[in-house]
């Protein structure tokens, strides 16, 4: 099998090389091979990308990421496969486009005037703000004129372009450009105190602050900047135009849903919460991890999802009791515990098994029209405020023109359940919807952090009927099989 795969890869490389050679031969004549012809000759869209939580990475369920999803969808629209060419930095991905090694770059590339002279940018995908980052406990400069020594950014990066522009206003501004380190590595060096400052886009800063909570933002270097795909500047429109049609065909709602899937919860947990989680991972979780894993295997869930729920509920404290009388690691009500046949809510094993059974049931009763992972977030909201209120808020979402299948639209209506004008129209009445919104965001963040800390794959495989060959969403914290209850 390996020999066969290697042979297929070799044939693809050979075909691509032959296409490039033919293009080079014909470029001196009146004939030229267009970009779409190159894609069709290869049988795949070759995309330069980077490993990044904002772009592309290998999750527990396979390839995933905001720009990966978009690139995979574009390749499907062309009727070809998707081949990823990994670059170390966005700048290297741009070089791959310029020298013909990739058809386009989908690599978190920020548009700058200098880059616009070297490549052709498509429709903006999102906006980010370049921020000066330092370590908590060190002095925070008020503006660019007060940045001292120790500022390091990736070589030929968008950050370097911003600093060059600022230097005309602040001649004393100095920095070092690293040819070897990317932005995330520099953020880690700032967190460890190895360098004093770096510049990073706001989305990457927010994500990394969850893992390195000592990171702080001094100020924004500029206003919001566009992130877009990059194409060769001197080639025909045969690929560029379909790409713009594909992206333009995605409604703002669809893009908003995709952004929410990857970025909608990244600022949910503050510094103290992140530090506390890291401490409890060492001091409390080892006592209960085996039970979380056993429950996850029995109910076809990711153990880190169960652990994230347990952490949000009780910080993994089996003796936790809320003011409303819910108890234990998974904070089960007395009524729910009786339904689940949990005799002792403060027994860690019973609580975790009961909580796993309950969230599994909630996931399974969410209507089939709701896709993953949205059905997971809706089930979490139900775990927090009751399934009846989830039915109500989905109906309110429909009435107000939203998509009740998508968490981003439902979430926007949760707070209506606290307003008499709206909750009086529902079957189940008042609910603290804002708390459910925070609850789901926290669980999502804790889940992401546990994935980052442990990095291991789910304990049981995904159900064959639900696992796509090419995942198009973020790692699904579930392994869907048949309903348990």
**What pLDDT, on the 0 to 100 scale, is given for residue 269?**
66
Q: Are 385 and 278 contained in the same domain?
A: yes
**What pLDDT, on the 0 to 100 scale, is given for residue 152?**
97
From 254, 313, 369, 472, active-site residue: 313
Residues 2-24 pLDDT 10s: 343 334 344 444 445 444 444 44
Q: How far is CA 63 from the centre of its chain?
A: 12
Residues 338-394 pLDDT 10s: 999 999 999 999 999 999 999 999 999 999 999 989 999 999 999 998 899 999 999
Report the candidate in 421, 441, 443, 419 with the shortest Cα–Cα distance to residue 431.
419
Count up the domains in the chain and report the number: 3
Q: Are 175 and 27 contained in the same domain?
A: no
Check which CATH number belongs to the domain holding 177 and give it: 3.40.190.10
Q: Mean of the per-residue pLDDT values for the chain?
A: 84
- How many whole angstroms separate alpha carbon 48 and alpha carbon 231? 10
356-378 burial, b for 16+ CB within 10 Å, e for fewer?
A: bbbbbbbbbebeeebebbbbbbb
Q: Are 156 and 301 contained in the same domain?
A: no
185 part of the active site: no
Return the ∠ at Cα 71 (arms to 68 and 73), rounded to 5°: 105
Q: Are 152 and 246 contained in the same domain?
A: no
Residues 80-128 pLDDT 10s: 999 999 998 999 999 999 999 999 999 999 999 999 999 999 999 999 9
- String of DSSP letters for 113-159: HHHHTTSEE-S--EEE-EEEEEETTS---SSGGG--S-BEEETT-HH
Q: Are 80 and 204 contained in the same domain?
A: no
Task: Identify the residue with better confidence: 453 or 241.
Answer: 241
- Domain hosting 289: range is 271-454
- Pairing outcome for strands 225-227 and 120-121: unpaired
Q: Is residue 202 part of a domain?
A: yes
Q: Is residue 472 part of a domain?
A: no
Q: What percent of the chain has pLDDT over 90?
A: 61
Which residue do the tokens 């729920």 mark? Answer: 309
- How many whole angstroms separate alpha carbon 385 and alpha carbon 426? 14
Q: Are 301 and 443 contained in the same domain?
A: yes
- Pairing outcome for strands 215-220 and 130-135: antiparallel
52, 58, 61, 65 alpha-carbon torsion, rounded to 10°: 30
Q: Are 118 and 146 contained in the same domain?
A: no
Q: Are 290 and 407 contained in the same domain?
A: yes
Q: Are 312 and 432 contained in the same domain?
A: yes
Q: What percent of the chain has pLDDT over 70?
A: 84
Q: Are 236 and 176 contained in the same domain?
A: no
Task: Identify the residue with better confidence: 61 or 136.
Answer: 136
Check which CATH number belongs to the domain holding 433 and give it: 1.10.530.10
For residue 234, pLDDT over 80 is answered with no
């Amino acid at each position: 099998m390996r020999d066969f795969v290697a042979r297929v890869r070799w044939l693809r490389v050979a075909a691509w090389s032959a296409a490039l050679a033919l293009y080079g031969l014909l470029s001196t004549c009146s004939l030229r091979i267009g970009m779409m012809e190159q894609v069709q000759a290869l049988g795949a869209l070759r995309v330069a990308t980077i490993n990044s939580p904002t772009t592309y990475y290998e999750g527990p369920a396979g390839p995933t990421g905001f720009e990966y999803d978009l690139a995979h969808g574009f390749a499907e629209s062309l009727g070809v496969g998707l081949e990823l060419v990994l670059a170390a930095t966005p700048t290297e991905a741009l070089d791959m486009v310029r020298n013909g090694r990739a058809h386009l770059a989908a690599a978190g590339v920020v548009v700058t005037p200098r880059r616009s002279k070297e490549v052709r940018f498509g429709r903006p995908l999102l906006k980010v703000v370049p921020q000066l980052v330092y370590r908590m406990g060190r002095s925070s400069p008020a503006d660019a004129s007060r940045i001292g020594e120790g500022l390091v950014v990736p070589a030929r990066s968008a950050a370097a372009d911003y600093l060059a522009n600022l230097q005309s206003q602040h001649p004393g501004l100095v920095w070092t450009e690293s040819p070897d380190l990317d932005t995330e590595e520099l953020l880690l060096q700032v967190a460890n105190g190895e360098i004093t400052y770096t510049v990073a886009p706001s989305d990457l800063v927010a994500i990394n602050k969850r893992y390195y909570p000592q990171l702080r933002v001094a100020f924004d270097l500029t206003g919001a900047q566009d992130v877009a795909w990059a194409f060769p500047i001197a080639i025909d429109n045969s690929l560029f135009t379909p790409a713009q049609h594909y992206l333009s065909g995605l409604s703002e709602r669809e893009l908003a849903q995709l952004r929410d899937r990857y970025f909608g919860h990244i600022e949910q947990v503050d510094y103290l919460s992140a530090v506390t989680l890291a401490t409890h991972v060492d001091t409390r979780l080892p006592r209960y991890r085996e039970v979380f894993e056993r429950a996850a295997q029995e109910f076809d869930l990711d153990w880190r999802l169960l652990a994230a729920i347990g952490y949000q509920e009780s910080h993994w404290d089996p003796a936790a009791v809320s003011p409303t009388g819910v108890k234990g690691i998974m904070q089960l009500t007395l009524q729910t515990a009786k339904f689940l046949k949990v005799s002792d809510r403060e027994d860690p094993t019973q609580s975790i098994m009961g909580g796993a059974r309950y969230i599994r049931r909630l996931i399974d009763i969410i209507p089939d029209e709701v896709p993953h992972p949205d059905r997971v977030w809706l089930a979490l909201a139900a775990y927090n405020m009751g399934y009846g209120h989830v039915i109500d808020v989905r109906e309110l979402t429909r009435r107000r023109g939203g998509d009740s299948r998508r968490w981003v639209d439902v979430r926007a209506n949760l707070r209506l359940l606290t307003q008499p004008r709206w909750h009086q129209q529902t079957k189940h009445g008042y609910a603290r919807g804002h708390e459910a919104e925070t609850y789901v965001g926290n669980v999502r963040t804790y889940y992401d952090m546990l994935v980052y800390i442990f990095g291991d794959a789910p304990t049981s495989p995904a159900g064959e009927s639900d696992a796509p060959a090419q995942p198009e969403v973020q790692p699904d914290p579930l392994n869907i099989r048949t309903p348990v209850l």
